[in-house]
């Protein structure tokens, strides 16, 4: 889940996918506030992925 979320948020942050989508739907005024949501979400998903990998490695070395 962390890797998938990271990829989706990264695509939305670094490509104009949401800008084009919001413009087509008529929500272009919201585009200026996307960074306030997407960058923290990207950070959370990256931390979630790192935590999951850390737990997987810790569980594998304990066996």
What are 12-18's contacts with CB under 8 Å, separation 24+?
12/38, 13/38, 13/39, 13/42
* The two structure tokens encoding residue 15: 């490509």
Helix (H, G, I), strand (E, B) or coil at 1: coil
Summarize the confidence of residues 54-58 as an average pLDDT.
Answer: 89
Helix (H, G, I), strand (E, B) or coil at 28: helix
Inform me whether the pLDDT recorded for 51 exceeds 80: yes
* pLDDT digit string, tens, across residues 11-44: 776 667 778 888 899 888 888 888 888 888 888 8
From CA 44, how far away is CA 38, in angstroms rounded? 10
At residue 42, the pLDDT reads: 82
């Amino acid at each position: 889940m962390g890797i998938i979320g990271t990829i989706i948020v990264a695509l939305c942050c670094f490509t104009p996918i949401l800008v084009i989508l919001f413009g087509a739907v008529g929500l272009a005024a919201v585009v200026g506030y996307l960074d306030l949501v997407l960058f923290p979400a990207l950070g959370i998903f990256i931390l979630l992925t790192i935590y999951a990998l850390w737990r997987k490695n810790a569980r594998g070395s304990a066996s």
